[in-house]
Amino acid sequence: MASIYIHIPYCRQACYYCNFHFSTSLQTKSELLDALHLELIHRKNYLSGEKISTIYFGGGTPSLLEVDEIKKIIETIDRNYNLEWDKMEITLEANPDDLKKEKIQDLYSAGINRLSIGVQSFFDTDLKTLHRIHNAEQSHQCIQEAQQSGFDNITIDLIYGVQNQSDDIWMQNLETLKNYNLPHFSAYALTIEPKTAFEKMIRQGKITGTDDDQAARQFLVLQQWANEQNYLAYEISNYCKPGHFSKHNTGYWLGEKYLGAGPSAHSFNTHSRQWNIANNTKYIQSVKNNDPYYEMETLSDISQYNEYVMTSLRTMWGCDISLIRDRFGLAFANEITKSSLRYVSDNLLFKKDHKLLLTLAGKLLADNIISGLFILNDNDL
């Protein structure tokens, strides 16, 4: 199974934390969509005719597009790729302020069957801190109208560890989520990314950074709450009711092929990775003129191994040492068995059959543990 990701690089307003690729000027939108169609046509053999059962519109803000523009992209994909229509998951990331009743219904009719709504918080204080353009009331309306329009596959994004977000407010966010009985949600710890407004304000001493203790406490609250509510913590930031995994993201984590179209989008075909230029004007010109619009890296065994360790350990399926032995060889399997020992004895990792999994304490230190397991070069083997 393979998947297609479409990057829509526009937002109405820049959130203070975000360093995804987007522009707040929509002037290039129609030319960019032309280029996007061309890219999808040029690259129709990238996935070697493999069956596709997920399409994901991400961004930026895909809900800024007109429904007809979205429909046309789906049609171009359908004409050029091998879609498994009976299994198809088509997700659209949406900002609550974009989705009025009629548009939600039109999206549903256009074939979008999964909405990912960027709620972030049900409290206006948090939304102001994050510099979101929408308010809490708009999120409530958006979720309710989506449910009334027939969307049963809805996920929302939440952020914890926000400056001045008390543990009580975080808990109330979770309790609000409970009222909607959603099959899936994502919860991210606020991270201060380079080249964001937050990073600049912190550097200038205008605001404080994030508080690791607060983020850790709120993560533990989240784990316990998710468990009590029968949500599976199937990935560090992703939670679903049994059976309601995001097909698209699960494909990434299981190392399946994907094609990413649009500026900054990444693609992966198991042996190489490529990423499109993260500049709207250059992307449009290069695609039009048939000039190179992406860079490519052929993946060595070591980088494929590191990638597998990084993605698999974050999931509830864990990192499979037998799979490492079969796919990369005994030296790699021996290396992870050895390098994981200290984390197992510190109770940060545990072993179940031939799999390594993060303990709860380990999840709090996931990034450090994962980089501690990376192989840097041949000398490590």
Ligand X SMILES: C[S@@+](CC[C@H](N)C(=O)[O-])C[C@H]1O[C@@H](n2cnc3c(N)ncnc32)[C@H](O)[C@@H]1O
The answer to whether 340 touches 374, Cβ cutoff 8 Å, is: no
Sign of the alpha-carbon dihedral angle for 110, 114, 117, 118: negative
> Which entry of ligand SF4, ligand X, none binds 159, CB below 5 to 8 A by partner kind?
ligand X
Q: Which residue stretch of 53-61, 181-189, 210-218, 269-277 sits at the interface with ligand SF4 (rule: CB under 6 A)?
A: 53-61
The answer to whether 121 touches 158, Cβ cutoff 8 Å, is: yes
Is 144 a binder of ligand X (CB under 6 A)?
no
Total residues binding ligand SF4 (CB under 6 A): 11
The answer to whether 259 touches 80, Cβ cutoff 8 Å, is: no
Site for ligand SF4 (CB under 6 A): which residue of 7, 54, 60, 265?
60
Q: Which string of DSSP letters, residue by residue, matches 28-46? A: THHHHHHHHHHHHHHTTTT
Is 129 a binder of ligand SF4 (CB under 6 A)?
no
The least distance separating ligand SF4 from the CB of residue 10, rounded to whole angstroms, comes to 8
> Which entry of ligand SF4, ligand X, none binds 286, CB below 5 to 8 A by partner kind?
none
Distances (CA, A) of 258 to 56, 87, 179: 11, 16, 35
The answer to whether 279 touches 286, Cβ cutoff 8 Å, is: no
The answer to whether 338 touches 349, Cβ cutoff 8 Å, is: no
Is 118 a binder of ligand X (CB under 6 A)?
yes
Window 223-242: residues binding ligand SF4 (CB under 6 A): none
Distances (CA, A) of 67 to 58, 107, 112, 140: 15, 6, 10, 22
Site for ligand SF4 (CB under 6 A): which residue of 61, 173, 238, 267?
61
Window 4-23: residues binding ligand SF4 (CB under 6 A): 11, 14-15, 18, 20, 22
Is 197 a binder of ligand X (CB under 6 A)?
no
Site for ligand SF4 (CB under 6 A): which residue of 3, 53, 91, 95?
95
Nearest-CB residue for ligand X: 118
> Which entry of ligand SF4, ligand X, none binds 188, CB below 5 to 8 A by partner kind?
ligand X
- Cβ-based neighbour number of residue 179 at 10 Å: 10
What single-letter DSSP state applies at residue 212? Answer: H
Is 93 a binder of ligand X (CB under 6 A)?
yes
Is 118 a binder of ligand SF4 (CB under 6 A)?
yes
Q: Which residues of 233-255 are buried (b: 16+ CB within 10 A; e: fewer)?
A: bbbbbbbbeeebbbbbbbbbbee
Site for ligand X (CB under 6 A): which residue of 61, 138, 153, 218?
61
Is 318 a binder of ligand SF4 (CB under 6 A)?
no
Closest CA to 140 of 109, 99, 110: 99
Is 120 a binder of ligand X (CB under 6 A)?
yes
> Which entry of ligand SF4, ligand X, none binds 263, CB below 5 to 8 A by partner kind?
none
Nearest-CB residue for ligand SF4: 18
Q: Is 223 helix (H, G, I), strand (E, B) or coil?
A: helix
Is 199 a binder of ligand X (CB under 6 A)?
no
CA distance 5 to 56: 5
Q: Which residues bind ligand SF4 (CB under 6 A)?
A: 11, 14-15, 18, 20, 22, 59-61, 95, 118
